[in-house]
Structure 1
Amino acid sequence: MKIVVTGTAGFIGFHLAKRLLERGDEVIGIDNINDYYDIRVKYGRLKELGFEKEDYTFAKRYKSKKYPNHIFYRIDLEDKSAIEAIFKEHKPTHVCNLAAQAGVRYSLTNPDAYIQSNIVGFLNILEACRHNEVEHLAYASSSSVYGLNERMPFSVEDNVDHPISLYAASKKSNELMAHTYSHLYGIPTTGLRFFTVYGPWGRPDMALFLFTKAILEDRPIDVFNYGKMKRDFTYIDDIVEGVVRVIDNPAQPDACWSGRRPNPASSNAPYRVYNIGNGSPVELMDFIKAIEKALGKEAKKNMLPIQPGDVPATWADTTALERDLGYKPGTPIEYGVEQFVKWYREFYGV
């Protein structure tokens, strides 16, 4: 396959690109390398993919020194002409859109970044797919779309009309936009609702990274909702396996779909939405214990109320993923945390 992967300097995009390259696919990577979090991590990921520079010119093509079938462009998704040029030149067969302005709490203070990257940028990807006969578009959604829904586990057939952050609203918007293009232009699209992804090369703004760093530096960690939180932590290798299976199996129209009783996870158009989660929520305090065990050091804790935009629990119903693609994530939290800590110590030399 010839696959455009956006967000290849990002956590999931980096791991996905590496997996696709190692199985022989051609990957056209795109990322704007913004400074939302420690840019050294992004440069480190790109170096793992065979790009040695730490100063990338926008819209210039870079060839990997490690993978002959990999090229990279530094581009903002909002740059419509640059996106159009890449699609026109390379004519990808498949696209996986993982680039986005991430973070729930950041969206409370920087809403414009989410509209530009997650809405305008995604529209540019949809238009590029439409005009270049792309066979399948897979794209990142998020478990945050479930918002105020309290029915557990979260099912792709649940209503998701009550987001509580602009980040979540932008991801729900992506699903609606994708359905429109599937319906109007017959483009197969699949949305992937990721549940709290963690593992080596993880994001520095996420709890595992923040907790590990603070504990090693002998600083207290902030434990929100007084520890009464549950998260469906999903290991990065499980996420990538799910994404690859989705890419390889383009969405098909659902012959059983009815407008009288519409299933929000499918359509009479080639459109699908899946949860990719472990399906086993972990108590926040148990998660912290796993980090303490891997580090061999106890955490000092600041017990705090829940933050705006946060939900107390997430739990993925992966029935649809199992039914359609024969896959269910299952990496134990202890193993995943241990792998992250090993990577963290090596990367930062601590």
Structure 2
Amino acid sequence: MLTCLVTGSAGFIGSHLCERLLADGCRVVGLDNFDPYYHRQLKEQNLTALRQHPRFSFCEADLRQGPAALTAALPALAYDAVIHLAAKAGVGPSLREPAAYMENNVLGTTHLLEWMRERGIRTLLFASSSSVYGNTPAIPFGEDEPLLARCISPYATSKLSGEALTFTYHHLYQMSVLNARFFTVYGPRQRPDLAIHKFARLLRAGQPIPVYGDGSTSRDYTFVADTVDGIVRGLNYLLQHPGTYETVNLGNSHPVALLDLIAAVGAAVGVVPQLAFEPEQPGDVATTYADNTKAYRLLGYAPRTPLAEGLRQFAAWFDAKPELSAVPLQAR
């Protein structure tokens, strides 16, 4: 039985991933610090079904406290792999709190890697982000694109720094590593601050949707089940190829313009959107567009969920949770 540690397990992607790993027969230990970026109540809901599973255990701990604190908090198991999703999220807030992003995402990752080194755990899948590409002129985004001078937000910088750290530990301590760059993941349980969830709330409340810029910016929206499938395929690849170090995109390879997304969300929830145009936000990139060629070649990764179907599933979840409207978009 494969034993995996999943950091960020109470989050949107993390809870879906834990459910998939359990369905595949793994033992899963989840770790989360319930960062107040969004309300703890939502994260606790994500864990409800997981807590009832006999092969799942959960630990509330903070990576910033260091390797010794992790050892004290986590079950003393023989971990086969670590999937590191925990991070302080969001481009915009990182402009307001850059030091907090470095502390959580860079120092926290360093502590996790040190804990792995001390415990002799040699397999890591690290969740990176399409944000590392910045406004690169190379479209679609390929993993070999030079990125050192591309990051345009502290969040992006923290994620690229995490990739640099994983290479250091691969080089020094022979860790097998896959950096997976996620592209705008959406679906049931999506974070409340992200566009699709925020738009659904506003539409249901009869409020206009803010459009930053002229609405031509685009994102490569990727359904959560497709992202999770890519993670699991990446984990299997690492276990079958010890000593490897790779970086792959896990996107949908189909950018959608902001105005088209708003129309699609409106169709999914059955409300005609009203728009309120606002100035562009600093730190936002013009487009994201994943080249999935490498992920398909190495992992067999091929996303299957069209946007309309993914939004239908999101809307069904959202409509089944009327209490969401009473939960603040952010805890602070």
Q: TM-score range by the shorter chain?
A: over 0.9
SS at structure 2 position matched to 1:96: strand
The question of whether the paired residues in 2 share the 8 Å contact of 1:138 and 1:189 is answered with yes
Structure 1 residue 295: Cα displacement: 1.3
Aligned to 2:58: 72
Tell me which amino acid in the other structure corresponds to 1:74: E
The question of whether the paired residues in 1 share the 8 Å contact of 2:125 and 2:180 is answered with yes
The question of whether the paired residues in 2 share the 8 Å contact of 1:225 and 1:312 is answered with no
* Aligned pairs (5 A) from 1:172-191: 172-191=160-179
> Is 1:299 the counterpart of 2:273 in the alignment?
yes
Aligned to 2:43: 42
CA distance in 2: counterparts of 1:271 and 1:94, whole angstroms: 14
Aligned to 1:56: none
The question of whether the paired residues in 1 share the 8 Å contact of 2:130 and 2:182 is answered with yes
1:347 to 309, 314, 321: 321
* Aligned pairs (5 A) from 1:240-251: 240-250=228-238
Tell me which amino acid in the other structure corresponds to 2:263: K
Structure 1 residue 71: Cα displacement: 0.6
1:123 to 110, 128, 134: 110
The question of whether the paired residues in 2 share the 8 Å contact of 1:93 and 1:133 is answered with no
Give 5+ residue unaligned stretches, structure 2.
326-332
Give 5+ residue unaligned stretches, structure 1.
51-65, 255-268
Q: Which has the higher helix share?
A: 2
Structure 1 residue 282: Cα displacement: 0.9
* Aligned pairs (5 A) from 1:85-234: 85-86=72-73, 89-161=76-148, 162-234=150-222
The question of whether the paired residues in 1 share the 8 Å contact of 2:211 and 2:276 is answered with yes
Percentage identity across aligned positions?
40
Moved over 4 A (4+): 251-254
CA distance in 2: counterparts of 1:69 and 1:135, whole angstroms: 22
The question of whether the paired residues in 2 share the 8 Å contact of 1:200 and 1:344 is answered with yes
CA distance in 1: counterparts of 2:241 and 2:47, whole angstroms: 37
Aligned to 1:259: none
CA distance in 2: counterparts of 1:181 and 1:88, whole angstroms: 23
> Is 1:338 the counterpart of 2:312 in the alignment?
yes
The question of whether the paired residues in 2 share the 8 Å contact of 1:188 and 1:252 is answered with no
Tell me which amino acid in the other structure corresponds to 2:222: T
Tell me which amino acid in the other structure corresponds to 1:336: G
Aligned to 1:289: 263
TM-score scaled by length of structure 2: 0.93
Residues 252 and 70 (structure 1), Cα distance of their counterparts in 2 relative to 1, 3 Å cut:
closer
- How many aligned residue pairs are there? 321
| 1:270-322 deviation digits (Å, cap 9, x = unpaired) | 21101000001111111111111111111111112321000111100011101
RCO higher in structure (CA 8 A, sep ≥6): 2
Tell me which amino acid in the other structure corresponds to 1:192: A
1:272 to 246, 252, 263: 246
> Is 1:14 the counterpart of 2:15 in the alignment?
yes
